[in-house]
């Protein structure tokens, strides 16, 4: 079946602009996670969704970052007023349930802020 | 808090040789342990996981790992590597949180380069 998909695959933006990154989890997966992979910080957890609610937002680096999930499916990660340090690969993962240990990752969105 | 240390940033090895990628972790609570592989321009793929029980776990592509609680290690091994194993490997832990979800905390990664 279809895996986790993310769009766009690449995004180049100018400093100060807002960007939206999209994640389509595997159908039926109730848990959804966002991670960021950057040269300086490695792979970091950003936020966790169970259904449409986000009980753990502890990894969001600043208030410029927000995320939502609608219909228990698609999630968007929004970065406002982008900065150069936001350049990274943003990875989305989903799992069947919150206690399910296996997370399935999408291919990521590579964000470059000029 | 939890942390994961992958002791080697790069491991070069010849084809058909054995390899070990080292991983140590620190945690004040019980954790699940994982190894993920990332091929170029792709997402992460689960190789294997340790939840409980036998400390030797077998995964895909002939990889295995051994959990050592006293040394807080979870080293990944393969007896004979192939060119196609060239990739970045990430060790990760997930603390057993009261919320019952699995927030992955990753090591910095080890780049395995298999040479002919």
Tokens of B46: 């689960």
Using CB atoms, pick whichever of A4, A43, A104 lies closest to residue B90: A43
Q: Is A33 on the interface with B (CB under 8 A)?
A: yes
Q: How confident is the model at residue A2 (pLDDT cuts 50, 70, 90)?
A: confident
Residue percentage of chain A with pLDDT more than 90: 86
CB-based contact A56 B44, cutoff 8 Å: no
pLDDT at residue A100, rounded to an integer: 67
Q: How confident is the model at residue B29 (pLDDT cuts 50, 70, 90)?
A: confident
Q: Is A56 on the interface with B (CB under 8 A)?
A: yes
Q: Which chain B residue's Cα is nearest to A110?
A: B41
How high is the mean pLDDT of chain B? Answer: 93
pLDDT score of B37 more than 60? yes
Q: Is A57 on the interface with B (CB under 8 A)?
A: no
Q: Is A85 helix (H, G, I), strand (E, B) or coil?
A: helix
In degrees and rounded to multiples of 5, residue A86 shows phi and psi of: -80, -10
pLDDT at residue B53, rounded to an integer: 85
Q: How confident is the model at residue A87 (pLDDT cuts 50, 70, 90)?
A: very high
The mean per-residue pLDDT over the stretch A4-16 comes to 96
The mean per-residue pLDDT over the stretch A20-31 comes to 95
- Count the helix, strand and coil residues of chain A and give each as a percent rounded to the nearest 5: 5, 50, 45
Out of A9-13, A75-79, A101-105, B110-114, pick the least confident: A101-105
pLDDT at residue B58, rounded to an integer: 95
Q: What is d(CA A77, CA B80) in angstroms, rounded to the nearest whole number? A: 41
Q: What is d(CA B111, CA B12) in angstroms, rounded to the nearest whole number? A: 8
Bridge-partner residues for A42, per DSSP? Answer: A38
Using CB atoms, pick whichever of A91, A95, A101 lies closest to residue B43: A91
Q: Is A108 on the interface with B (CB under 8 A)?
A: yes
pLDDT score of A98 more than 70? no
pLDDT at residue A43, rounded to an integer: 92
Cα-based distances in Å from A46 to A32, B4, B56: 11, 17, 31
> How close is the nearest chain B Cα to the Cα of A13, in Å?
20
Residue percentage of chain A with pLDDT more than 70: 96
The mean per-residue pLDDT over the stretch B66-73 comes to 94
């Amino acid at each position: 079946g279809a895996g986790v998909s993310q769009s766009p695959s690449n995004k180049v933006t100018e400093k100060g602009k807002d960007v939206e990154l999209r994640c389509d989890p595997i159908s039926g997966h109730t848990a959804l996670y966002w991670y960021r992979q950057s040269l300086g910080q490695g792979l970091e957890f950003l936020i966790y969704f169970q259904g449409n609610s986000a009980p753990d937002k502890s990894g969001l680096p600043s208030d410029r970052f927000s995320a939502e999930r609608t219909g228990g499916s698609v999630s968007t990660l929004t970065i406002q007023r982008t900065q150069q340090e936001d350049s990274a690969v943003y990875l989305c993962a989903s799992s069947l349930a919150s206690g399910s240990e296996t997370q399935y990752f999408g291919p990521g969105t590579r964000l470059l802020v000029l | 808090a939890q942390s994961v240390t992958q002791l080697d940033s790069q491991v070069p090895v010849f084809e058909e040789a054995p390899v070990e990628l080292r991983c140590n972790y620190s945690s004040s609570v019980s954790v699940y342990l994982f190894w993920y592989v990332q091929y170029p321009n792709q997402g992460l793929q689960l190789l294997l996981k340790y939840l409980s029980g036998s400390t030797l776990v077998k995964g895909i592509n002939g990889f295995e790992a051994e959990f050592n609680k006293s040394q807080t290690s979870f080293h990944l091994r393969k007896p004979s590597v192939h060119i196609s194993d060239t990739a970045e490997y990430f060790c990760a832990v997930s603390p057993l949180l009261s919320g019952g979800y699995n927030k992955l905390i990753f090591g910095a990664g080890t780049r395995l380069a298999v040479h002919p």
